[in-house]
Chain A
Amino acid sequence: MEQTITEKILARAAGQEKVSPGQIIEAQVDLVMIHDHQGPLTLLEFAKLPVKKVWDPEKIVIVLDHRTPSQTPQAAKNHRALRDFASVQGIKYFYDIGEGICHDLLVENGHIVPGMVLVATDSHTITAGALGAFATGVGSSEMASIFARGKIWFRVPETVEIQLEGELPLGVYGKDVALYLLGKVKAGGLDYKALEFRGKGVKNLSLDSRLTLCNMALEMGAKNAIFEPDEITLDYLRNRTAKKFSVIKSDPGACYTCTIKIHLNTLEPLIAEPHSPDNVRPAQEIEKENIKVDQAVIGTCTGGRYEDLKIAAYILKGKKIAPGVRLLVVPATRSLWLKASKEGLLDIFIEAGAIVSYPCCGPCGAYGMGALAPGETCITTGSRNFIARLGSPEGKIYLANTATVAASALVGKIVDPRSYL
């Protein structure tokens, strides 16, 4: 029987020839990751199990990225506990504070290869599907169980085919494809499904845009989101990983539970208004409402990659952001931070009046930076605009692509970015 890429990966991980949607399997995981938010609970739960050593220290990655540098005495204790655990267990893939956001570090450092099963204690684990891996999030206690056994149960998901045709117009990026889909299927509208991005338009999407698109599939409720590996994937992986992998693709004639077609050419810059990522309208409509911006954020695992920094620098070069706007620029990883520095991008941001930060998750959830006062408005490249996400329940968060965020910081109100490109 023909299978989708997700079914093939799960069948391999379950040691079966084939699996079908709805089937409950036990899968062997290839890689797991914990970070300093959910990781400390994992350690406490792991300590309750009747084993002393993790099943395989080579397959565990630990990242400190959420409360960095240690922002409170409790955060410092959590960091200490994770450092000590890594040392005692012989976990060599340990990324201390300042190295970057976990999802980007996993991809950038060659931990992710096509066909693998990645499970991590973060909802945005799903991002890694952009490289053709099955990647999904779990909670802390379940991770403790995986630490002991290297296995997890899954219900094999039905796969939704997202057919992408054509090419994105100027000022439109992977973020807008994600927002368009969210507006259409609504938050949680694809609960427990596998999302497979296919079609002739895929080759026109950069890897950074693919990562953003997979990242935001979580808000649709997806279990995983995935792109079949292609030339762009293999180019990216060349010289980045020593891991062996085989290129797995969906069989022709594989069964999809439904198909959603998107003509990339017809898309425009979109914005999700408070307080749900599916509350989506075109930027050009929102521009007419003269919404004043107090804070603008370029960063997070949704929009803090190289493509984002390049777009922002293009818009901000030689200009000053509007008085009264706080623009935070947070590159996703240290290597990207350094690259942006060497290429002069950070100088552009600093001269424009931005605050350039070390790599971290901070402004996605006001973890040590980026909190809002009641009534304030933030426009962000992040993925969540939930009520009170940045502190005050009266704060308003708008989600947009990086060009929209940079242009809005420049003008001091929310604008359609296309006049600034």
Chain B
Amino acid sequence: MAPIFRGKAWKFGDNVDTGQILPGQYLTLTDPHELAQHAMESIRPGFANLVQPGDLIVAGHNFGTGSSREHAAKALKYAGIAAVLAESIARIFFRNAFNIGMAAIPVKGISSMVTEGDQLEIDLHQGIVINLTTGRYISFAPLPSVMLAILAEGGIIPYTTKLLTQERGINV
């Protein structure tokens, strides 16, 4: 997966929990396209239909807090979201995002430098977000190399497949 993303920002506030991202009543669903239809529906009705492929989410503190439901990250990815940028990201959502092949990056100060609809560019390896609409930019702490490696493979399943192949000489 390319380490550079460009897309339009959708803004959210603090403490957007996984239940707001994907309400609990849909947790028996397993088809990611069905999950995507319900992304953010309790706080932003119609969100799934408004998102264009490659769009980005910019949020406040503690994004993805709450339940470990991977359904939440999947719903965003299959709705078209390419990456999540937030002031801070709850631990399990952080891992889930990379594990399903979607970047989620804690960026202190991101909320105040982005207005909804701004075009952003993210360079994962350089650790920088540029607001193409305003010209402002901000840097973020580098992500652990294991997370970048998982993302580069497209998620933990292809990454694990590679590890298994190396470890056991399994042909895939």
- Chain A contacts to B: CB under 8 angstroms: 24, 37-38, 40-41, 44-45, 48-51, 66-67, 72, 74-75, 78, 121-123, 125, 137-142, 144-145, 148-149, 153, 155, 187-188, 191-192, 219, 221, 223, 276, 365-367, 384, 386-389, 391, 393
30 A-B pairs (CB sep. < 8 Å): A24-B146, A37-B67, A38-B68, A49-B161, A67-B27, A74-B29, A75-B28, A122-B68, A139-B68, A139-B69, A139-B73, A141-B156, A142-B95, A142-B156, A149-B160, A149-B167, A188-B15, A188-B61, A191-B62, A191-B90, A192-B91, A221-B62, A221-B65, A223-B91, A386-B20, A387-B19, A387-B20, A388-B19, A389-B19, A393-B42
Q: Which one of A123, A155, A187, A367 lies within 8 Å of B15 (CB-CB)?
A: A187
Q: Which one of A41, A149, A365 lies within 8 Å of B71 (CB-CB)?
A: A41
Cβ-based interface call for B1 (8 A): no
Query: With A149-B164, A192-B91 as given contacts, are A37 and B20 in contact (CB-CB < 8 Å)?
Result: no
CB distance from A272 to the nearest CB of B (A): 12
| CB <8 Å contact, B163 and A149 | yes
Question: Which chain B positions have C-beta within 8 A of A72?
Answer: 28
Question: Which chain A positions have C-beta within 8 A of B170?
Answer: 50-51
| CB <8 Å contact, B28 and A141 | no
| CB <8 Å contact, B20 and A384 | no
Question: Which chain A positions have C-beta within 8 A of B66?
Answer: 123, 384, 386
Question: Which chain A positions have C-beta within 8 A of B68?
Answer: 38, 121-123, 125, 137-139
Q: 8 Å CB contacts to A: which residues of B34-80?
A: 42-43, 61-62, 65-71, 73
In the bound assembly, the distance between CA atoms of A233 and B66 in angstroms comes to 28
Question: Which chain A positions have C-beta within 8 A of B42?
Answer: 387-388, 393
Question: In the complex, what residue of chain A is closest to B71 when comparing beta carbons?
Answer: A41
Question: In the complex, what residue of chain B is closest to A391 when comparing beta carbons?
Answer: B25
Cβ-based interface call for B96 (8 A): yes
In the bound assembly, the distance between CA atoms of A66 and B165 in angstroms comes to 35
Cβ-based interface call for B100 (8 A): yes
Question: In the complex, what residue of chain B is closest to A393 when comparing beta carbons?
Answer: B42
CB distance from A121 to the nearest CB of B (A): 6
Count chain A CB atoms within 10 A of each CB in B25, B71, B73, B172 and give the residue with the most: B25
Query: With A149-B163, A221-B65 as given contacts, are A386 and B92 in contact (CB-CB < 8 Å)?
Result: no
In the bound assembly, the distance between CA atoms of A139 and B75 in angstroms comes to 14
Cβ-based interface call for B112 (8 A): no
A-B contact sample (15 more), CB < 8 A, given A137-B92, A365-B67: A24-B146, A44-B30, A48-B157, A49-B160, A50-B164, A50-B172, A51-B164, A75-B28, A121-B68, A141-B99, A144-B160, A149-B164, A188-B61, A188-B62, A393-B42
| CB <8 Å contact, B90 and A366 | no
Question: Which chain A positions have C-beta within 8 A of B69?
Answer: 37-38, 139
Question: Which chain B positions have C-beta within 8 A of A121?
Answer: 68
Q: Which one of B20, B62, B71 lies within 8 Å of A388 (CB-CB)?
A: B20
Q: Which one of A51, A139, A191, A365 lies within 8 Å of B24 (CB-CB)?
A: A365
Query: With A50-B170, A191-B88 as given contacts, are A141 and B62 in contact (CB-CB < 8 Å)?
Result: no
In the bound assembly, the distance between CA atoms of A149 and B166 in angstroms comes to 12
Cβ-based interface call for B127 (8 A): no
Question: Which chain B positions have C-beta within 8 A of A366?
Answer: 24-25
Q: Which one of A51, A141, A153, A192 lies within 8 Å of B70 (CB-CB)?
A: A141
Query: With A139-B95, A188-B90 as given contacts, are A219 and B157 in contact (CB-CB < 8 Å)?
Result: no
Question: Which chain B positions have C-beta within 8 A of A192?
Answer: 91
Total count of chain B residues near the partner, CB < 8 A: 47
Query: With A44-B30, A153-B146, A221-B62 as given contacts, are A49 and B92 in contact (CB-CB < 8 Å)?
Result: no
Q: 8 Å CB contacts to A: which residues of B147-172?
A: 155-157, 159-161, 163-165, 167, 170-172
Question: Which chain B positions have C-beta within 8 A of A223?
Answer: 91
Count chain B CB atoms within 10 A of each CB in A45, A67, A125, A144 and give the residue with the most: A45
Question: Which chain A positions have C-beta within 8 A of B67?
Answer: 37, 122-123, 365
| Chain B 73-112 near chain A by CB (<8 Å), digits 1 or 0 | 1000000000000001011100110011000000000000
In the bound assembly, the distance between CA atoms of A75 and B25 in angstroms comes to 11
Cβ-based interface call for B144 (8 A): yes
| CB <8 Å contact, B90 and A74 | no
Question: Which chain B positions have C-beta within 8 A of A122?
Answer: 67-68
Query: With A50-B165, A67-B28, A74-B28 as given contacts, are A188 and B92 in contact (CB-CB < 8 Å)?
Result: no
| CB <8 Å contact, B92 and A66 | no
Question: Which chain B positions have C-beta within 8 A of A66?
Answer: 27
Question: In the complex, what residue of chain B is closest to A45 when comparing beta carbons?
Answer: B157
In the bound assembly, the distance between CA atoms of A7 and B106 in angstroms comes to 25
| CB <8 Å contact, B24 and A138 | no
Question: Which chain A positions have C-beta within 8 A of B88?
Answer: 188, 191, 221
In the bound assembly, the distance between CA atoms of A186 and B36 in angstroms comes to 30
In the bound assembly, the distance between CA atoms of A78 and B71 in angstroms comes to 15
CB distance from A115 to the nearest CB of B (A): 22
Question: Which chain A positions have C-beta within 8 A of B159?
Answer: 145
